[in-house]
Amino acid sequence: MAEKLEIPKGYRHTKQRKAILEILEKAEFPIHAEDIYLKLKENGMDISLSTIYRNLDMLTKEGLVVKSYMLGEDKARFALPDKKNYLVCEKCGKIVIIDNCPFDKFKEELVEVHGFDITGHSVEVYGVCPECKKTNVG
């Protein structure tokens, strides 16, 4: 699926760093720093939260990871760039990645109207997922 993720040049291959990247690769949607911490704990790895934050920071600056905040949340989530556009269910919180983001088709329109050179975008769509529509909880 995703191209193999490499630790950027100039940085060391530590086991913590590799483990963090692995978690991010496996994640199906943007997750919190603490989620990474907990998953690594589960896997028996003892890592410190600050190491996780420092690595996420580095990875974000290097462009391998995208940081975002979900509606109504106050802590950051991190994900590989191909998971940055998503749908969120307002009822159950389920997150579904938007694979072929239709927004891409509109870059040109935005360039024409506003004159920006566009380098990226992030889209969050919220609504009610099919399951929650059935289980019509008020």
Partner DNA sequence: ATAGTTTTTGCAAATTATTTGCATTTGAAT
Partner DNA sequence: ATTCAAATGCAAATAATTTGCAAAAACTAT
Given the rule CB under 7 A, which residues bind DNA? 11-17, 32-34, 46-51, 53-55, 57, 74-76
* Least distance between DNA and beta carbon 65 (Å): 12
- In the sheet that 31-32 helps form, which strands lie side by side, from edge to edge? 31-32, 77-79, 66-68
User: Residue 49's binding partner, choosing from DNA, its own copies, none, with beta-carbon cut-off 5 to 8 A by kind?
Assistant: DNA
Residue 104's alpha-carbon distances to 31, 42, 69, 89, 134, in angstroms, are 24, 38, 21, 23, 32
CB-based contact 107:119 (threshold 8 Å) = no
Number of residues binding to its own copies, judged by CB under 8 A: 35
d(CA 60, CA 24): 12
- Which string of x and - marks every residue 73-102 that binds its own copies (by CB under 8 A)? -x-x----------x-xx-----x-x---x
Asked whether the beta carbons of 53 and 33 are under 8 A apart, the reply is: yes
E runs forming strands in 2-85: 31-32, 66-68, 77-79
Q: Which is nearer to DNA, 14 or 43 (CB)?
A: 14
> Which of these ranges, 14-22, 28-36, 43-51, 66-74, lies near its own copies under the rule CB under 8 A?
66-74
64 binds its own copies (CB under 8 A): no
The nearest distance, CB 18 to its own copies, in angstroms, is 25
Considering only 3, 4, 114, 136, the residue that binds its own copies (CB under 8 A) is 114
